Amino acid sequence: MQRASKKRDAIYAALMESKSHPTAEWIYRELKPDIPELSLGTVYANLSLFRKEGKAVSVAVVEGKERFDGDLTPHAHFICRCCGRVADVFAAASPEDPALPGIAESCQTTWHGICYDCCRCGAASRDK
C-alpha cells in the first residue's frame, strides 16, 4: 500500500464523492483549480493504484473513456447508449446468496440500453 499524499487523498475523495462514475479527465478537471501542480498522468496512476489495492473498480469504457467506481458494495451498472450515463443498479442478490455454489469475491454485471431521460426526450429515436 502506498503512503498517503495530498494529491492521492484528493483523487480518492473526488472518486468517492462522485456518483457519476467519473473518468480520469473529469477528476483532473475537478481538482486542477485547487491543485495546480496536478497532472492527468498522476490521476491515471492513482486510479490504477486504487484498482490494484481493491479500493476502486473500472466499470466500463464509455464513449472511449474509462469510467471508475469507488463504491465496492455489491451492485450492477446500467449504461445508456444515447447519453453515456452510468448508473448504479442495486439488486437483491448478494455475495452471501445461498444459490451461489461457492464464496463470491466479486461480480460485475453491466446492463446496456436507453435511460428513461433519453426515452422521454426522444434522443433514442434520433440516435438510430
- Structural domain contains residue 93: yes
CATH code for the domain in which residue 48 is found: 1.10.10.10
The beta-strand segments (E) located in 1-128 are: 57-62, 65-69, 76-80, 86-89, 110-113
Is 110 in a helix, a strand, or coil? Answer: strand
52 lies in the same domain as 90: no
Q: Does pLDDT of 126 surpass 70?
A: no
The pLDDT assigned to 25 comes to 98
**Range of 123's domain?**
76-127
Q: Which triple of cell numbers denotes residue 10?
A: 484528493
Instruction: Tell me how far apart the alpha carbons of residues 128 and 122 are, in angstroms, rounded to a whole number.
Output: 11
Q: Are 60 and 86 in contact (CB under 8 A)?
A: yes
59 lies in the same domain as 103: no
Q: Are 44 and 26 in contact (CB under 8 A)?
A: no
The pLDDT assigned to 50 comes to 97
Question: What's the CA dihedral at 107, 67, 2, 16 to 10 degrees?
Answer: -90
110-113 and 76-80 strand pairing: parallel
Q: pTM of whole model > 0.85?
A: no
- Structural domain contains residue 1: no
Q: What is the pLDDT of residues 5-25, one digit of tens each?
A: 999 999 999 999 999 999 999
Q: Are 46 and 12 in contact (CB under 8 A)?
A: yes
The pLDDT assigned to 13 comes to 98
User: Residue 8: in which H helix or E strand, if any?
Assistant: helix 6-17
Q: Which triple of cell numbers denotes residue 53?
A: 489495492
Computed over every residue of the chain, the mean pLDDT equals 89
- Structural domain contains residue 111: yes
Strand partners of residue 69: 57
Residue 80: pLDDT band by 50, 70, 90 thresholds? very high
